[in-house]
Structures are given as structure tokens and as C-alpha cells.
A and B are shown apart, each in its own frame.
Chain A
Amino acid sequence: MSANTPSRLEKVLANGHFAVTTECGPPRGSDLGVITQKAEYVKNHVDAINVTDNQTSVTRLCSLSCCIHLKQLGLEPILQMVTRDRNRIALQSDILGAAAFDIHNILCLSGDHQSFGDHAQGQNVHDLDSMQLIQTARHMRDEGAFLGGDAIQRPPQMFVGAAANPFADPFEIRVPRLAKKVKAGAEFIQTQCIYNLDKFEEWMKGIRDRGLHEEVAILAGLTPFKSAGMARFMKNKVPGMDVPDHVVKRMADQPKEKQPEEGLKICTESMQRLKEIEGVSGFHIMAIEWEQKVPELVEGAGLHPRPEI
């Protein structure tokens, strides 16, 4: 794989290194200090930082402004964009907004349904779906043109990513669905949090059987549990999440004060096992409101220091 864009993340992958990304959720207000703080925790341990876009449909500071802020701090942002809230005019306009600040990575998502958030009575847009947003970003970059056909002056140069959930149903189309995202133009994939490693391996095998791992960089998603309660919540309440009983039990068997440590341990062990799977190109660590633990996880998995690019 050779790099097509100035993206640092793309270069890390193109040079054959495991990539490490993390994510940071914007605040529910306009204080960029929160982002500065989260960035401070992770900046020496990751190659790029995703900024979520009104995740779980709860209204927050916009992803784009936080990405610009990260960029100005000298870090590498990944702009997350959901198709729930913006039509093709607004999406393309925001892609240009990011390009204007030399943001070189985008993650294309459809987004959680608004009924999960703080404005359940709002409309959803879904003018495009996530596949079509991938196509749009690639079209803008590769053709230097808007979907409508007109030329773009100084087109975006973005490394284009998408999400994949190997655990959602129907399982039989989870590999075809990835193939479809690759066909749409996805160059990297960040997966849903992995707790069921056996099932993930089965999915990866399907990916390898079709050679998809050679066309797209797959970053395995991880979220450390802070408590047994969180493990149970993820298992029972988060759609599309697969947390096996034995993992919940392992957390619950620890006294409360030892649970955070156990959660980190499970996460590090998972990373070690995942590193051995052919076709896994890196990790996406989503330490929700626990960003300060990212360095420990990265070091634990033997992924520090990050390569110089």
C-alpha cells in the first residue's frame, strides 16, 4: 500500500507499522480546553485522534471545530461525520471546511438514531448513507469535483475510513458489508469494540478469504471496561455490542476497587492476541472518558514509541 494523501495515519500504515488511533468526544459546551486536556493525555502514544460527531445523538461541540483545534496543536485529527444530521450540501461543505485546515482523515458513519439522544423529536436527514459518504469523500478527492459535477478548487486530500461492526446481525453479511465499503472506497476501517475475540477471528478469516485485508487497513476497536457495571451495560444496553458472559464475569469477580485495573488488563491481553491475527493493521482505542489510560494500554501492547513519519 502506498500513500495517496498527506495523512500521517495513512503513512504509518503504508510503511507497514501497526497504527494506533484513539477517540475523543467533544464537550457539551464550547470549552476547547477539554479537548486540549484529552489530547495532552494521548499525544505521544497515538498516530491520530478521532473526534466523534454528536455521538449517541447527544448534541455537542462540533467535530470539525475540535479537529481544527487538534490540528493547531500539531496533532493528527480524524474527522468523524455522520449522515444523520446533514444533507449532501452540508456534508460536502464541511469536508471542504476540514480540508481548508488540512485535516487529512475522515471517518464516514451513518450515526446512531436520534431517539437515543437529547433531541429525540428531531428529524433525521440520511440524504446519503455511510457507504455513499465514503463515495462522496473519495469522489471529491479523486475527481476533484462535487457530487453535482462542478470542479473543486483545491480538493480535499483525505484518507477515507469507515466503521465496521463484526458483531452486528445478520452475521452472514458482515464480510460482504465490508467488501461493499471497500468497493465504495474505504481505505481504513475502525471496528466496533471487540470483546468476543473468537467471533472477531471468524470475521477476520472471512476478510482474509476474500483478500480484503490487502485492500483496506483494519484497525481493531477496543474499549477498556472501568467497572463490571459498565461491562453489563455494554452487554445488555448497547445495540450491536457482543460482550461474552465470561468477560462480564471476569470483571464482576474482582472487588470494586480492582475492577478498573482488570478492565485495562483484559484490554491489553486482547490487543496482544489481536496483534497476532493476520490482517489486523492497528488499533483504535476508545477509552471513553478515560483517555489518560491510553498510554498505558499502548505501552502494554508493545506499541510505544510511535513511529516517526
Chain B
Amino acid sequence: MIVAEQKPIEEIIQEIQDDHSVLILGCNECVTVCEAGGKKEVAVLASALRMHFMQQGDQKQIEEKTLERQCDSEYLEELRAQVDRYDSVLSLACGAGVQFTAEKYPSTAIYPGVNTKFIGVTEEQGYWTERCQACGQCILAKTGGICPVSRCAKRLLNGPCGGSTQGKCEINPELDCAWQLIIDRLSSLDKLDDYEELVPIKDWSPDRAGGPRKVVREDVTS
């Protein structure tokens, strides 16, 4: 999923400062799972903001809503009837949701309420870690199912670097060295010999480097 983290409240206050009515818009997908922008977080943030502005003598109107998804036109339509009532929408969806909401409602200001962090997993409650950077050409088959693009601080494809120490990465002793994980896994699969195969120079054009990407599927287009 996409993992996000709520922005510091001071930054959110700055964003909506000058508006009289604000809708806080949650999303029921990834940001709900990572507890950054679901219905619950919308409610908590809304009351914190109401409290803050009340103390300032600011009669700001703050309302709440959570959509099934903000990255889908169908669900975003649910906002159409009421969006004009607000000066701005504070979206707690990932960056994609924020932008898609803005695209649908060109005359309403849309602000981000979270920092979108990465594509990752919930390792345990309250602990999320990165697994993928959407490089566009997955090489996990070559690397024991562990991604060096997202998990090695230097995205080395033929690693590990000389800084790998006792399983940890040179940049942070709390971070697993991706290449230690890859080597461990290749050995448990009895495939350590695969390590000696040179991973060819990567084509980064399907990555961010190639410009904004799209996927088109003729077979499912309506």
C-alpha cells in the first residue's frame, strides 16, 4: 500500500488559515490502513483544528467526510453536491488522491494533509517500512524477492557495498542491509550461485526518469 504520515498540525493550520469553511476529506484505502487519513484520523484532526481556531476566536467551519477512494472518479463524484460550500478541502489521501480531487474540482482549493512516504507494508502495528519504488521493471526474480532499488540506500543492483556491517546498512545501524537480506535468502533457497550473475545495467526509462508514466489496457477500456 501507499504509506503516508500526517503533516505536523502547524503546517496544516498554515494551509487552511485564511479559509472560512474547510472540508477535511479522508480516504478509506491505504491511508486508513496506515492510520494517517481514514475516517478516524479525519475526526481527530477536525476536533483538534476546531479547538485551535476556537481558541483563536476564529469561527472557522470545519466539516468531515471520508470517501471510499480519492483516486477514483466515481467516488470523487460524491463530493459534487456539497463542494461549493467550502473554501478549501484538506485531503488526507496520498498525493495521488489530493491531485485527483483537485482535478475534479478546479474552483476549490485543495491542500494536502499528509506527507506521502512510500509503497510499503505494515510490519507490526504502528510500524511501516518501504518495499517498492515503482521502478517500472521489476527485478525481484533476480534478487531473491528482495528489492535493492527501494531497500538499499544506494540501490545497488550487484551489491552489497563495503559498508554493510553485521547485517545492517552503513547509513543507519537500525536499518537492515538489503543485500544481507538478499544473500541470506539466496542461500536459504540454495541459489547463492545466482549472486555471481551480473545484473545488467538497468533501463531506468520505465522509472520516474522516463517522465510521468501511464498504463493503458485496451482490453479493459470502456
Which A residues fall within an 8 A CB radius of B? 83-84, 88, 110-113, 115-116, 124, 126-132, 135-136, 147, 163-165, 168-170, 172-173, 176-177, 179-180, 183-184, 192, 239-240
A-B contact pairs, 27 of them (CB 8 A): A83-B154, A84-B154, A88-B201, A110-B154, A110-B161, A113-B153, A113-B171, A115-B171, A116-B171, A124-B154, A126-B154, A129-B155, A131-B158, A131-B198, A132-B158, A135-B198, A164-B162, A168-B161, A169-B167, A170-B167, A172-B183, A176-B195, A177-B195, A180-B195, A183-B196, A239-B162, A240-B170
Closest 3 CB pairs of A and B: A165-B162, A239-B170, A239-B163
Which B residues fall within an 8 A CB radius of A? 153-167, 170-171, 177, 179-180, 183-184, 187, 192, 195-196, 198-201, 204
Question: In chain A, what residue has the closest Cβ to B170?
Answer: A239
Is the beta-carbon distance between B198 and A173 smaller than 8 angstroms? no
Cα A164 to Cα B162 with chains together (Å)? 7
Determine the chain A residues whose CB is within 8 A of the CB of B160 once the complex forms. 168-170, 173, 177
Determine the chain B residues whose CB is within 8 A of the CB of A116 once the complex forms. 171
Q: A168-B165, A239-B163, A240-B170 are in contact. Are A184 and B154 (CB under 8 A)?
A: no
Determine the chain A residues whose CB is within 8 A of the CB of B179 once the complex forms. 170
Among candidates B156, B162, B171, B187, residue contacting A129 with C-beta atoms closer than 8 Å: B156
Cα A165 to Cα B160 with chains together (Å)? 10
Determine the chain B residues whose CB is within 8 A of the CB of A147 once the complex forms. 201
Output the least CB separation between B37 and chain A (Å). 26
Among candidates A84, A88, A180, residue contacting B198 with C-beta atoms closer than 8 Å: A180
Determine the chain A residues whose CB is within 8 A of the CB of B157 once the complex forms. 129, 131-132
Cα A109 to Cα B49 with chains together (Å)? 51
Is the beta-carbon distance between A184 and B170 smaller than 8 angstroms? no
Is the beta-carbon distance between B156 and A113 smaller than 8 angstroms? no
Cα A52 to Cα B73 with chains together (Å)? 54
Output the least CB separation between B143 and chain A (Å). 13
Is the beta-carbon distance between B196 and A179 smaller than 8 angstroms? yes
Output the least CB separation between B162 and chain A (Å). 3
Determine the chain B residues whose CB is within 8 A of the CB of A88 once the complex forms. 201
Determine the chain A residues whose CB is within 8 A of the CB of B154 once the complex forms. 83-84, 110-111, 113, 124, 126, 129
Is the beta-carbon distance between B196 and A110 smaller than 8 angstroms? no
Determine the chain B residues whose CB is within 8 A of the CB of A169 once the complex forms. 160, 164-167, 177, 180
Cα A35 to Cα B62 with chains together (Å)? 64
Determine the chain A residues whose CB is within 8 A of the CB of B167 once the complex forms. 169-170
Is the beta-carbon distance between A170 and B164 smaller than 8 angstroms? yes
Cα A74 to Cα B70 with chains together (Å)? 66
Is the beta-carbon distance between A170 and B183 smaller than 8 angstroms? yes
Output the least CB separation between A97 and chain B (Å). 21
Output the least CB separation between B87 and chain A (Å). 34
Cα A124 to Cα B177 with chains together (Å)? 17
Cα A113 to Cα B154 with chains together (Å)? 7
Is the beta-carbon distance between B162 and A126 smaller than 8 angstroms? no
